[in-house]
Amino acid sequence: MNKDFIISWKAAGISLGLLLIIATALVKPLGVSSQFVVTDGIVAHQVAPQFAESNTYLSKYGEENNWGVGYGWMLVFGMVVGGGVTSILLRRRQPQADKGSMPELWKNTFGPSQTKRYLASFFGGVLLLFGARLAGGCTSGHMISGISQLALSSFIFGVITFGSAILMAKFLYRGRV
């Protein structure tokens, strides 16, 4: 592995900005969490159309021309593949490069159980997705696309997301950080 294979935060930021410009020009601003509810809406309209139409939330998302039947899932798939490829390429650059290791702060607070760590990560992701849909968009939709378009709701989402994360970390790690 080449140690020079590091992308600076500046290059990553410029790349993300260019990706956002291209995505917005070609399709629509980036966002991922909507894809799940769009798919739910399409399935609900096929399986139980009366229920889907009577449900205030699902009735907005059942059209097959909603953004994302193809593009949205490709973005989700790309995130999974991109994360996996990046993990493999930069494995030796990670602080805990040993297989199965985890941060000392986590182990000291919650123990060495990988199962507990995976469950916490999974349920944290579920809560994040729930909160994202409650807020009308996910972190990529609000904090990348929304803030770049100067949407007030996205600025509010960003402040609340970071504030909540800081408070939760302080609560979970109580004086250890």
Per-residue pLDDT tens over the stretch 73-120: 777 888 889 888 988 887 776 655 455 677 788 888 888 888 998 899
Per-residue pLDDT tens over the stretch 48-69: 989 988 888 778 776 655 545 5
Radius of gyration over alpha carbons of the chain, in Å? 19
The one-character DSSP state at 87 is: H
Alpha-carbon distance values, 106 to 88, 111, 119, 133 (Å): 23, 7, 13, 28
The domain locations on the chain are 1-94, 102-177
